[in-house]
Chain A
Amino acid sequence: MADSPDGDLKYVGRSIRTKEGRAPLIGKAKYTSDYAFAGQLHACIVRSPHAAARINRVDLSAATRVAGVRLAMHGADVAALTDPIPDYLEPALFGGKAAAHRCLAIDEVWCYGQPVAVVVAEDMRTARYAAARVQVDYTPLEAVVDAEAALAVGARTIVPGWDDNLLMHVPFMHGDTVAAFESADQVVSTEVKIHRFSTQPMETRCYNAVWEHNTESITLYGTSQNPHPLRLVLAQTLRMPENKIRIIASTIGGAFGLKMHGHPEEGLICLLAKLTGQPVKWLESREECLLIGAREQKHYIEMAVNNDGTVLGLRDRFYANTGAPSACPGWGMAFLTGLTMPGPYKVRDIDVQMHAVSTNKPSWNAARGYGKESTAIALELAMDNVARQLGVSPVTVRLKNFIGKDEFPYDSPTGLLYDSGDYAGAVEKTLQAIDYDDCLEEQASARESGRYIGIGVAFELTPEGGAIPGSMVVGYDTSSVRVGPDGTVRLLTGVTSPGTGNATGIAQIVADELGVDIDAIEVLQGDTNASPYGFGNYSGRSTIVGGGSAALAAQDVRLMIDKVAAALLEVERSSLVLQRGVYTSTADSSASVTFAEVCYAAYTRAYDVALCIDPPLEATRTFRPPSIRHTPDANGNINPYPSYSNAAYATVCEVDVQTGQVKLLKFAVTHDCGKVINPILVEGQACGAIGFGIGGALTEDVRYDASGRQLTRSFMDYVMPRMSDMPPIAVEHHDMPNPGNYLGLKGAGEAGVGGSAAAVVNAVNNALQPLGVVMNELPLTAPRVWAAIQQASVAPTPGGDQ
């Protein structure tokens, strides 16, 4: 039993784990791949070995001859029965180009690994064997793999009918950048190259589609962050009414954006179940999962600065290699990178030119941070460059340019409305957490003994809870609270959990609002036949809108229960006290009735004491954060975010100058997510995101050869941080409540990726500053750091015992 609430002891604000955790610990949690049904069939997908090719012929005959094969299809077969997959987020909403996304390629393949054919068999072994017998005749085409080369005159257009490969160009401009640059003492240029990452949840995608013969409908057990919007996509793709599709997103083994929809396999597996009349399962291999990337982009940044460190203006031209067009929302990350410039800095004159480029690499999907992490990486590397050029401390440069804590709400130059924050305070706390002054001394003495220690700081603004007009990326969500006649609670919410713990956080809020024990609450998420229509998990929104809507619903139900309690006890409602599951009254010391007895009366005495309510004890409410503004202002800008979470980072590293190996010694973060519902869960989110950032900065890299074939195909190649690679992480909370949201919530979950990556790069550059080495191309793998040291203007002087 968790502690019961009594008096001031509330659940909100406490570190508890009750709503998830036990089942995975004993091996009993049921993830999508753990489901198997009677008559289960298995699908295997044939994928293109070429980055770009014309498909001349697909011959399925050798596959279909294999005993145990039930169905084999190519692109034309599938296209005859399906419509193109609708975009999660239409590029056309932002003036971009449109392409038809098919479950299987027809006529042409646009990237390595694109699905070309599919085989369904009675077991996986047979499906794999038969898939290998599918013969595809290709004529390879010249692959376009580099974003800037893709825009060059004469580059082959990768989508037939397009006039170039520019998916979208969006300028983000404000003020008078020309005047700012003319009046500045100096201009500091920084080129930042961010490589291709992949989120790689430990659970790959899995879809198991069941054809329900009795209702002629589909139930899809699937790894989906957004079951309701996916249902609409499937309805359109499969030409079925939406009410004939049910999606059950079971326990999810991590998502990080990768399980947002638009993937060709989603509709394809449903179609196969419909055609065979049997359950069809597809489990993504790790090699297939590694096809899905994100955030490969090159920034050309110029900052107009005065000699005292004031940044007057920002120019940034950047080119994002978003890969082949797909229905997944990955490309939108590049848009967000531009929109969230210039981050936490009070720079009013900006000229940011975003170019999202289509190439013959596999397409992006959303990745934790959704573009805001790239803003942080680009800006924070550039700020360190400014500090180096001016010869001032990187801390000073940041403090000089931060938006002040008394300047909120703050209108950003791109039209965003930052709600609250204390950026300088967060940096100060971080420096204390890492003992910054001691680190500086340690660094100085280490240098005397030939050791290269570096200290890096960075800041990151992560707007959370985003809403884009005209899309299924919405800012609100809905929850239902149902209290049964025994006083137990069923909480249904439209937000989903990919393993973040939001079920516990939302249950904490509901327990406090209802005045019940948290163990009396069961949370249900991810089943479209049960949950209210909801938009799932993205953009750090789940506790803001899931918690906010659940609180409103709980308040409504609590009012009903209070009314019945007052009627039962024959006292004024205002005199009621609910403690440890018992109602008493300040007006009548003998009055007492349990919460459960009141709930029973609410159901069973509808004609006397419960006449004051409409049973059942249920309410469904929506929370629509009020600060989102979709009506354009005078400059045509909207504010798509209800919360502006932020975080400050500091790290200490040692670079082995003989090998190029970077070892992180210390790490600290100060995180502002508004009111904290559950500190331990917020810390877990922050530490996990920092793992992404550290891995991305140092080792994770998805690589291709010149012809666009993917070289990174397993965890041998995609090197993520292990326990022995990670430093201890000190997490501080610095919470400036959001005035617009329930309890002052801001989102948590995305902060960590960009700020930590930038802090690591800045630390390495700081360590190697005596050698004149500056690296602004990620990742800083040991071979690349070593190569940079070899080319340094100053030779290193390694310590004696190295």
Chain B
Amino acid sequence: MAIHVTTSINAEPVEFLCEADDTLVHVLRDTLNLTGTKEGCSTGDCGACTIVLDGRLACSCLVLGVEAEGKSIETIEGVATPGALHAVQQSLLDHAGLQCGICTPGIVVAARALLERNADPSEEEVRYWLAGNLCRCTGYDKIIRAVLAAAQDLREAAS
């Protein structure tokens, strides 16, 4: 039996119906057509489906749709403002921190969350914070450069 869920996605109120065992990534992609969130492994190992759930990073493949009841969800679709990329996105583009791009939404969401908590992370902090996001194309080197550069850009913009 379908269950009614009331939530907010990227600061917009959203209600949807889902089955009790539907994962949140399936609800986002198939019911709400928010296909920016990717499913890479379905076991919480790759981080492609990373979202922010009530302020915390989560793998949306490990969250049930019904668990979103009363919570706020942030997805990749809410990161850029109309007309402008977020500093993390721009920096990933400039530093070629993405290749095929399928892990990129998860990395953007996770990296933005890092920089919201820590404006000046060390390289090691970036490496460990983003260790939950697998990328098979880049060898990570340019992602790390991009996130460190984005942190610097944001600090300079704030000062």
Q: Do A and B come together as binding partners?
A: yes
What is A's interface to B at a CB cutoff of 8 Å? 15, 17, 20-31, 33-34, 36, 125, 199-204, 251-254, 256, 285-286, 498-501, 680-681, 683-684, 686-692, 714-716, 720-726, 728-729
Asked if B27 is at the interface (CB within 8 A of a chain A CB), the reply is no
The interface residues of chain A lying within 8 Å CB-to-CB of B135 are: 202, 723
Q: How far is the CA of A26 from the CA of B93 in the complex (A)?
A: 11
A437 vs chain B, min Cβ distance (A): 24
Do A254 and B136 have beta carbons less than 8 Å apart? Answer: yes
The interface residues of chain A lying within 8 Å CB-to-CB of B37 are: 27
Known: A15-B96, A23-B101. A36 touches B43 (CB 8 A): no
A26 vs chain B, min Cβ distance (A): 5
Q: How far is the CA of A687 from the CA of B98 in the complex (A)?
A: 12
Among A26, A203, A254, A714, residue most surrounded by chain B Cβ atoms (within 10 Å):
A26
Do B101 and A21 have beta carbons less than 8 Å apart? Answer: yes
Partner of A720, one of B85, B126, B134: B134
Known: A21-B93, A724-B131. A202 touches B40 (CB 8 A): yes
What are 11 contact pairs spanning A and B, CB under 8 A? A29-B102, A254-B100, A254-B137, A501-B96, A688-B99, A691-B140, A716-B43, A723-B127, A723-B133, A723-B140, A726-B127
Do A687 and B100 have beta carbons less than 8 Å apart? Answer: no
Asked if B58 is at the interface (CB within 8 A of a chain A CB), the reply is no
Q: How far is the CA of A553 from the CA of B143 in the complex (A)?
A: 35
Do A691 and B138 have beta carbons less than 8 Å apart? Answer: yes
Do A26 and B138 have beta carbons less than 8 Å apart? Answer: no
The residue on B at minimum CB distance from A501 is B99
Given A17-B96, A25-B80, 12 more pairs with CB closer than 8 A: A15-B96, A25-B105, A26-B77, A27-B36, A201-B136, A202-B137, A286-B41, A500-B137, A680-B96, A688-B137, A715-B43, A728-B141
Q: From DSSP, what is the main secondary structure of chain A's interface residues? A: loop
Known: A714-B43, A723-B144. A24 touches B102 (CB 8 A): yes
Q: List 3 A-B pairs, minimum CB-CB distance, nearest first.
A: A27-B36, A499-B100, A24-B101
Known: A687-B138, A724-B128, A726-B139. A715 touches B101 (CB 8 A): no
Do A25 and B93 have beta carbons less than 8 Å apart? Answer: yes
A14 vs chain B, min Cβ distance (A): 12
The interface residues of chain B lying within 8 Å CB-to-CB of A204 are: 40
The interface residues of chain A lying within 8 Å CB-to-CB of B104 are: 24-25
Do B142 and A723 have beta carbons less than 8 Å apart? Answer: no
Do B136 and A714 have beta carbons less than 8 Å apart? Answer: no
Q: How far is the CA of A800 from the CA of B102 in the complex (A)?
A: 45
The residue on A at minimum CB distance from B143 is A723
Do B40 and A203 have beta carbons less than 8 Å apart? Answer: yes
The residue on B at minimum CB distance from A719 is B45
Do B92 and A25 have beta carbons less than 8 Å apart? Answer: yes
Interface size on B, residues (CB 8 A): 56
Do B136 and A684 have beta carbons less than 8 Å apart? Answer: no
Known: A28-B36, A724-B127. A687 touches B141 (CB 8 A): yes
Do A498 and B127 have beta carbons less than 8 Å apart? Answer: no
B19 vs chain A, min Cβ distance (A): 7
Do A680 and B142 have beta carbons less than 8 Å apart? Answer: yes
The interface residues of chain B lying within 8 Å CB-to-CB of A683 are: 96, 141-142
Mask: chain B, 14-49; 1 = CB below 8 Å from A; 0 = not: 000001000000000110001111111111011010
Do A202 and B102 have beta carbons less than 8 Å apart? Answer: yes
A122 vs chain B, min Cβ distance (A): 13
Q: From DSSP, what is the main secondary structure of chain B's interface residues? A: loop
Do B93 and A22 have beta carbons less than 8 Å apart? Answer: yes
Do B80 and A715 have beta carbons less than 8 Å apart? Answer: no
Do B131 and A256 have beta carbons less than 8 Å apart? Answer: no
Partner of A253, one of B34, B102, B130: B102
The interface residues of chain A lying within 8 Å CB-to-CB of B126 are: 723
Q: How far is the CA of A715 from the CA of B138 in the complex (A)?
A: 18
Q: How far is the CA of A500 from the CA of B123 in the complex (A)?
A: 25
The residue on B at minimum CB distance from A29 is B101
Do B46 and A202 have beta carbons less than 8 Å apart? Answer: yes
What is B's interface to A at a CB cutoff of 8 Å? 19, 29-30, 34-43, 45-46, 48, 75-77, 79-80, 85, 89, 92-96, 98-105, 108, 123, 126-128, 130-144
A450 vs chain B, min Cβ distance (A): 24
Do B139 and A125 have beta carbons less than 8 Å apart? Answer: no
The interface residues of chain A lying within 8 Å CB-to-CB of B85 are: 22, 25-26
Known: A202-B103, A203-B40, A251-B101. A125 touches B19 (CB 8 A): yes
The interface residues of chain A lying within 8 Å CB-to-CB of B94 are: 17
Do B137 and A715 have beta carbons less than 8 Å apart? Answer: no
Q: How far is the CA of A553 from the CA of B40 in the complex (A)?
A: 39
A311 vs chain B, min Cβ distance (A): 32
Q: How far is the CA of A716 from the CA of B43 in the complex (A)?
A: 8
Q: How far is the CA of A29 from the CA of B29 in the complex (A)?
A: 13
Do B99 and A500 have beta carbons less than 8 Å apart? Answer: yes
Do B43 and A726 have beta carbons less than 8 Å apart? Answer: no
Partner of A17, one of B19, B35, B80, B93: B93
The interface residues of chain A lying within 8 Å CB-to-CB of B105 are: 24-25, 27
Known: A26-B76, A27-B37, A720-B134. A684 touches B45 (CB 8 A): no
Known: A24-B98, A25-B85, A25-B104. A684 touches B134 (CB 8 A): no
Q: How far is the CA of A521 from the CA of B42 in the complex (A)?
A: 38
Do A202 and B98 have beta carbons less than 8 Å apart? Answer: no
Do A715 and B139 have beta carbons less than 8 Å apart? Answer: no
Partner of A25, one of B34, B35, B101, B137: B101
Partner of A202, one of B30, B95, B128, B134: B134
Q: How far is the CA of A726 from the CA of B29 in the complex (A)?
A: 32
Partner of B99, one of A25, A28, A200, A684: A684
Q: How far is the CA of A24 from the CA of B138 in the complex (A)?
A: 15
Q: How far is the CA of A501 from the CA of B101 in the complex (A)?
A: 11
Q: How far is the CA of A729 from the CA of B127 in the complex (A)?
A: 14
The interface residues of chain A lying within 8 Å CB-to-CB of B75 are: 27
The interface residues of chain A lying within 8 Å CB-to-CB of B36 are: 26-28
Q: How far is the CA of A724 from the CA of B108 in the complex (A)?
A: 17
B18 vs chain A, min Cβ distance (A): 11
A669 vs chain B, min Cβ distance (A): 10
Known: A27-B77, A500-B99. A691 touches B139 (CB 8 A): yes
A66 vs chain B, min Cβ distance (A): 16
Q: How far is the CA of A29 from the CA of B123 in the complex (A)?
A: 29
Q: How far is the CA of A725 from the CA of B135 in the complex (A)?
A: 12
The residue on B at minimum CB distance from A713 is B43
Q: How far is the CA of A125 from the CA of B79 in the complex (A)?
A: 31
Do A203 and B102 have beta carbons less than 8 Å apart? Answer: yes
The interface residues of chain B lying within 8 Å CB-to-CB of A715 are: 41, 43, 45-46, 134
A730 vs chain B, min Cβ distance (A): 9
The interface residues of chain B lying within 8 Å CB-to-CB of A200 are: 136
Do B137 and A684 have beta carbons less than 8 Å apart? Answer: yes
The residue on A at minimum CB distance from B126 is A723
Do A286 and B42 have beta carbons less than 8 Å apart? Answer: yes
The residue on A at minimum CB distance from B78 is A27
A43 vs chain B, min Cβ distance (A): 16
The interface residues of chain B lying within 8 Å CB-to-CB of A33 are: 39
Do A25 and B89 have beta carbons less than 8 Å apart? Answer: yes
Do A687 and B46 have beta carbons less than 8 Å apart? Answer: no
B60 vs chain A, min Cβ distance (A): 13
Do B89 and A26 have beta carbons less than 8 Å apart? Answer: yes
